Chains A and B, each alone.
Chain A
Amino acid sequence: MGAFIAFQDVTKKFGAVTVVDHLDLEIAKGEFLSLLGPSGSGKTTILMMLAGFERPSSGSILLADRPITHLPPHRRQMGVVFQNYALFPHMTVAENVAFPLEMQRVPRAEITRRVERALDMVRLSPLKDRKPSQLSGGQQQRVALTRALVFEPDVILMDEPLGALDKQLREHMQLEIRDLHRRLGLTIVFVTHDQSEALTMSDRIAVFNAGKVEQIDTPQAVYDRPRTRFVAEFIGETNLVEGKVVEAGAQQAVVRVGEAALNVSGEVSAGRDVSLSLRPERIRLGKEPAAANALPVTVADCIYHGDHMRLVLKSGPLELVARAERLAGDWAVGTEAVASFDPQDCTVLAS
């Protein structure tokens, strides 16, 4: 089956600056894909090219195997939700939602019916005669979403749609959007710089850095098996450990770090200097010397975080951060201990 949306070798330059660099990206029908990256990584430009507001400098974009690279935005059938909602300030809620249907020359009576049904669905019917400026942020967000959905577009594009909401409302809206996606089988491309948002909502996440894709994977794979140093550091917190590969096998290797030889996962060749990523919560701390993958450490600092403790561990020149549950015992500063982990939790990063 061919991809529903495909970017083929797309490059976008603004003057001398390359914002998107030879991008190949495929999105399946019904998929929720997040474009995640720091500001300036090109993710919004990609969305704007997909919506038709920007033209690629080279390469092509396909929708259902049809090239749409040069199709103007109003003929693309994509519902866009903008960062600040971009509601029409001079129209009421109902008029905003009716707008795309009017553009499709849907008969009057049907427009009224569909607008009412759509507003009912997001519980905004009582507010339908208000102007956007009379709504709260969350209500505006729901109107924007409804307006983008009401004309049943092929794809919904969202450009940091939750960025302006406070934390609680944001988390609520995340669930609401995820729910809509599942219920209606929508194809959603979602731009965000908030990693937890991307992890919560997406089927797949594409992590961008400086105009290039660093990794496209499921949220779990992106978190547990980051391919690059950038991904490991950008998503979640991690310990970066430098070492030398002494033994290489299929999908696993032995890496020498200081005195210890550690079993890790990843495809590398022997003799290379590599970086390893080890998430703090995957480190097990014990008093007894473990059989394998263990480093002798000293607790250098212990920071109280309410539901857990963060421990700073020293092993020779190496410094590790570990997360300890409250039940896992008391770790006073200066305590000697052993840190261990499973081989699949420590990943070799591509240099």
Chain B
Amino acid sequence: MSRASVRDRSRAFALVAPLILFLALFFVWPLWTMVTASVVDDAVTKVLPRTAAAMADWDGSDLPPPAVHGALAEDLRTVQDQQALGEAVRRLNSAVSGFRTLLTRTVTAAREASDPATLDLSTIDPRWSEPRFWRAIKEAVPPYTDRNLLAALDLRRDAGGSIVAEEPGAAANRIIMLRTFVIAGSVTLACAAIGLPYAMLAAAASGVMRALLLLAVLLPLWTSLLVRTAAWFILLQQEGLINRALAALGLIDAPLPLIFNRLGVIIAMTHVLLPFMVLPIYSVLIAVPRNLMPAAASLGAGPIRAFWRVLLPLAMPGLMSGCLLVFMVAIGYYITPALVGGANDQMISSVIAFYALGTANWGMAGALGLILLAVTLLLYLVYGRLSRSPQLPGA
């Protein structure tokens, strides 16, 4: 029953407003910035507005008309913002190498020219008589591009502008996305296989036993993720505890390769994410009346049938939320694969981090980030529908 007065409402709003503002500014806006970074491509337009206008009529087949030369010279002569110019140069140079020296030379010449409007640029540098440099400018002039988004899916536009698949040699993103889903899926399966029976065990136990079983789940949840990953790093290494123990037991002769491979990533991530599987299932099972299984038994169901027909269906909602949760968190994982995985175990987050931190390619980082964000939010939406409270366990 909503019977709030105007005063109550405005007071409540005043209390919530600071956080809304804070998150709008420092959460929603950054995400929006990332999304736009993947489609905005205005470095060249910003610096060469006249050229962009003059090029509108040119079909790009041969050399552009002289008016374009004049516009470009005028644009370069009047450019004030050196940083913007630098970005434009970088953008063009990434399309056709050689632009860096070409533009530097042209800017100097344009500044010194008495009448830039009539300047023939090919007299400054012979490369201006090559159509491919002009075409690069024309392609870079539109302020928005789907280049990054297409590239994120291993697609590109060919010379005619239609979308085609990237050559197999250059196509890496689909493989990485597939790998991300495979790793996240394996971790989810492993968590379900261990988590379901464990949650049932914990729900069936009582007193100290139950407290102990739950503590074993909560303790890792409270322990730093980094500490846990470091622990697995130490355990899994060549001379690590696991290999030593196996060798001491005489089970192996040479150390097993456990670290910097897929197995290590899955073991460590399963450890990290297992609580997210156990807790939702446990919270569903704990609400099941304790006398339900005896009741099923009294009605003639053997232990296996009772489990199959009574307990499992009741645990299903918890299992579903647990799986969604683990999968959702797993696909965005970065630290664990980065530390215990090898080159072939890097997930989509690593690629995003590589583009953003390694090469400052915001466009690609943004495009891949957008895909990861969309998938995660979709999963969260389903999770929110499935479980009554959208809150994550452990919070």
Q: Chain A interface (Cβ within 8 Å of chain B)?
A: 14-15
Contacts and interface: CB of A to CB of B under 8 A. Distances in A.
Interface in B345-361: none
Interface string B1-39: 101000000000000000000000000000000000000
Nearest to B2: A15
Nearest to B3: A14
Contacts of A15: 1
Would you list the 3 A-B pairs with minimal beta carbon distance, nearest first? Answer: A14-B1, A14-B3, A15-B1
A15 B1 CA distance: 8
Interface of B: 1, 3
A14 B2 CA distance: 9
Main secondary structure of the interface of B (DSSP, over half): loop
A18 to B, nearest CB: 14
Contacts, number: 3
A15 B4 CA distance: 12
Contacts of A14: 1, 3
Nearest to B5: A55
A14 B3 CA distance: 8
Contacts of B3: 14
A15 B3 CA distance: 8
B347 to A, nearest CB: 48
A329 B105 CA distance: 128
Contacts of B1: 14-15
3 contacts: A14-B1, A14-B3, A15-B1
B179 to A, nearest CB: 54
Nearest to A14: B1
A57 to B, nearest CB: 11
A109 B369 CA distance: 67
A14 B1 CA distance: 8
A33 to B, nearest CB: 27
A69 to B, nearest CB: 15
A228 B1 CA distance: 33
A221 B115 CA distance: 113
B195 to A, nearest CB: 36
B1 to A, nearest CB: 6
A15 B2 CA distance: 9
A61 to B, nearest CB: 18
Nearest to B1: A14
A332 B94 CA distance: 110
A14 B4 CA distance: 12
A175 B195 CA distance: 57
B297 to A, nearest CB: 36
Nearest to A54: B3
A39 B1 CA distance: 18
A344 to B, nearest CB: 46
A45 B147 CA distance: 65
B5 to A, nearest CB: 9
B83 to A, nearest CB: 58
B11 to A, nearest CB: 15
A108 to B, nearest CB: 33
B8 to A, nearest CB: 13
A297 B1 CA distance: 54
A162 B1 CA distance: 27
A203 B3 CA distance: 35
A149 B3 CA distance: 31
A295 to B, nearest CB: 51
A16 to B, nearest CB: 11
A233 B3 CA distance: 35
A52 to B, nearest CB: 14
Nearest to A15: B1
B335 to A, nearest CB: 41
A234 to B, nearest CB: 27
B9 to A, nearest CB: 16
A49 to B, nearest CB: 13
